[in-house]
Structure 1
Amino acid sequence: MKNIFIVNPAAGSKDSSYAVEREILKISDKYDCEIYFTKYAGDATRYVSEYCKSHAEPLRFFSCGGDGTLNEVANGIVGFENAAFGCYPCGSGNDFVKYYGGAESIESFLNVEKLLKGTEQLIDLIRIGDRYCVNICNFGFDAVAAKIMSKLKYNKIFGGSRAYYTGAAKALFGSMKTHCRIEVDGEVLTDGDILLCTVANGKYIGGSFLCAPRAENDDGYLDLCLVNPISRLSFIKLVGLYKNGLHLDDKRCSSFIDYRRCKKLSIKGGKDFIYALDGEIYEIPEMEIEVVPKAVRFVVPQGLPY
């Protein structure tokens, strides 16, 4: 088994590539390991795909970065049956790995030996056009906050783990409505203004928001959470429920939240419509979203349930 660590020096609020390299070198005498440092956005997908094409033996690629780097590695292994991927989380959000036990699971993913001894789980992916999403695709208020966050993650005061909160606070001063038409499995769900919408394979977003508490990443379904417009005051009062994953069971939220499982969505937005795909921002007025069941194998560290 060949293990290739894909290190993104630009991930997180500081360059942790040398610290990651040190951890890998500690166990390199016991395992067949290689390290590759990405050079630009999209480089991980290119490198992983080319590596898979030229190697027939079993491969494991470990993303060393945040959710964006993990997304690139996943896009690189799609279609290659001899390849699996895992994650050494050292980005600003690290949302997907929290599926396996919240923030407490991070420690296991940061243990390189537990990673290398991990079990492979077949998981679903979300397909948006020719791109694949591992964790969550979202639009509306969340995407606006993510766009602001992306500009702040290297800021010493407002960056790092605080970036999403800062982004959300700044987004509160803008428009809290996004106009779009959403069809879910052929049925029109809405054609008007929304506050936000998440299409989830994982559970967490923004570093610590449990937006999709019922999501299962291997059930062949997407979990959609549509939040209709509410006042700023109501948002401030209730955002704690959303953060802690209590919004689906609290009666105060039932009048403006629609949560359902689905297979396919069609989205039509306006001229400046943006969406976030595993935290990365894209601008496109229309898109088709669908689940790809059991698309790739993800390495769950030794000792963690799934």
Structure 2
Amino acid sequence: MKYLFIINPAAGKQNPMDVLGEDIRAACERSGLDYEIKLTEHQGHATEIAHKAAEAATAENPVRVFSVGGDGTLCETANALFGAEHCELGCIPCGSGNDFNKTFGTKEEFLDVEKYILCPSVAVDGITSQHMNAINICSLGLDANICDHANRIKENNKKLSGPKAYNKAVVKGLLGRIYNTLKITIDDDRVIEGKYLFSLAANGQYYGSGWRSAPVADPSDGQLDFIFINKMTRLRALTVIPAYKSGKYFFKKKYKNILTHIRGKKIRIQSVKPSVVNIDGECAAINDITFEVMPGALRFIVPQSYIDARKNSEEK
């Protein structure tokens, strides 16, 4: 088996190669692994590197590909591995968010390089759309506008952490249009229409640098969690956002009248006005977009604690 580490030197506050390069080398040497480290040089390069590795992988010589960077690097790497045989994907977190990992374990578990690179993998779903594929969460509404603002803030201030950039973006987002008027079609046969503050198609539980807004999403269940939060005043939005961020809103009765939660395999979202869509942190303006689950699209390397927790849950 080959171990490939794709490091994005631009991720996070410090060059991940400087922070983790020696740890990766030492861990691989101690375990006697066949490994290679490659640095990305431009946007989309992680996809190119991972695609070449996937093409070379065989049953006799499979490959474990580790994204070493942030959510953007992970999304790029995953896009090359969806549907690829004899490949597994891992993520060593060095970015400002690393939200997909949070569904499976703590940051410390993923940063314990020597243990993590030898951990087992589980089949996880992906999300496909006409724009790009995703592994975590796609959204429209105030959150997508915030994501767009956060991306611009981080571009202008590289030293600002993801959570701080996101908090600044929340303030900016609340000053603009905070809802979208949408027609939503789920699995081609269920239609709902309304004005929504947040609209999610979730595979993972976390996004936006730690917002646990899809707290019951399971990336391995072959479905997506569709979550919609009704339009409200800015004043009420300010009181709802903390609960939405923590995930507590999902379980409290007082929020049931603003929450719609549906599980399904496909969703088409049509917006009356051009709206910003967030696809794993990448933003674009759309009027009409369809998201569909890709069941068991790849295998993701997870901490042993996640495997143990699932086993205990299944035995109960």
Shared fold, TM over 0.5? yes
Q: 1:226 to 1:169 in 2, by over 3 A?
A: same
- With 28-37 and 226-235 compared, the bigger mean Cα shift is at 28-37
Matching of residues 109-148 of structure 1 within 5 Å: 109-129=110-130, 131-148=132-149
Number of aligned pairs? 303
Task: Name 2:4's counterpart in structure 1.
Answer: 4
Supply the distance in 2 between the matched residues of 1:3 and 1:270 (Cα, whole angstroms). Answer: 47
- With 114-123 and 149-158 compared, the bigger mean Cα shift is at 149-158
* Equivalent residue letter for 1:25: R
Kept in 1, the 8 Å contact 2:104–2:303? The answer is no
- With 146-155 and 184-193 compared, the bigger mean Cα shift is at 184-193
Supply the distance in 1 between the matched residues of 2:134 and 2:268 (Cα, whole angstroms). Answer: 16
Supply the distance in 1 between the matched residues of 2:288 and 2:205 (Cα, whole angstroms). Answer: 25
Task: Name 2:211's counterpart in structure 1.
Answer: 209
Kept in 2, the 8 Å contact 1:96–1:204? The answer is yes
- With 3-12 and 50-59 compared, the bigger mean Cα shift is at 50-59
Runs of 5+ consecutive residues of structure 1 not aligned to the other structure: none
Q: Secondary structure at the match of 1:254?
A: helix
Task: Name 1:46's counterpart in structure 2.
Answer: 48
Kept in 1, the 8 Å contact 2:4–2:35? The answer is yes
Runs of 5+ consecutive residues of structure 2 not aligned to the other structure: 311-316
Task: Name 2:185's counterpart in structure 1.
Answer: 183
- With 63-72 and 12-21 compared, the bigger mean Cα shift is at 12-21
As a proportion of its length, which structure holds more helix? Answer: 2
Q: Could you tell me which of 233, 236, 246 is aligned with 1:234?
A: 236
Q: 1:174 to 1:197 in 2, by over 3 A?
A: same
Kept in 1, the 8 Å contact 2:125–2:219? The answer is yes
* Equivalent residue letter for 1:70: L
Q: Secondary structure at the match of 2:251?
A: coil
Q: Could you tell me which of 243, 248, 251 is aligned with 1:249?
A: 251
Once the two structures are TM-superposed, the CA of residue 182 in structure 1 deviates from its matched residue by 1.1
Matching of residues 133-172 of structure 1 within 5 Å: 133-153=134-154, 155=157, 158-172=160-174
TM-score, with length taken from structure 1: 0.93
Q: Secondary structure at the match of 2:257?
A: coil
* Equivalent residue letter for 2:181: H
- With 4-13 and 215-224 compared, the bigger mean Cα shift is at 4-13
Kept in 2, the 8 Å contact 1:138–1:276? The answer is yes
TM-score, with length taken from structure 2: 0.90
Task: Name 1:20's counterpart in structure 2.
Answer: 20
Kept in 1, the 8 Å contact 2:144–2:277? The answer is yes
Task: Name 1:78's counterpart in structure 2.
Answer: 82
Q: 1:304 to 1:191 in 2, by over 3 A?
A: closer
Supply the distance in 1 between the matched residues of 2:159 and 2:37 (Cα, whole angstroms). Answer: 31
Q: Could you tell me which of 100, 103, 111 is aligned with 2:104?
A: 100
Supply the distance in 2 between the matched residues of 1:238 and 1:271 (Cα, whole angstroms). Answer: 24
Supply the distance in 2 between the matched residues of 1:253 and 1:73 (Cα, whole angstroms). Answer: 37
Supply the distance in 2 between the matched residues of 1:41 and 1:182 (Cα, whole angstroms). Answer: 32
RMSD: 1.7
Kept in 2, the 8 Å contact 1:62–1:88? The answer is yes
Kept in 2, the 8 Å contact 1:225–1:258? The answer is yes
Q: Secondary structure at the match of 2:175?
A: coil
Q: Secondary structure at the match of 1:27?
A: helix
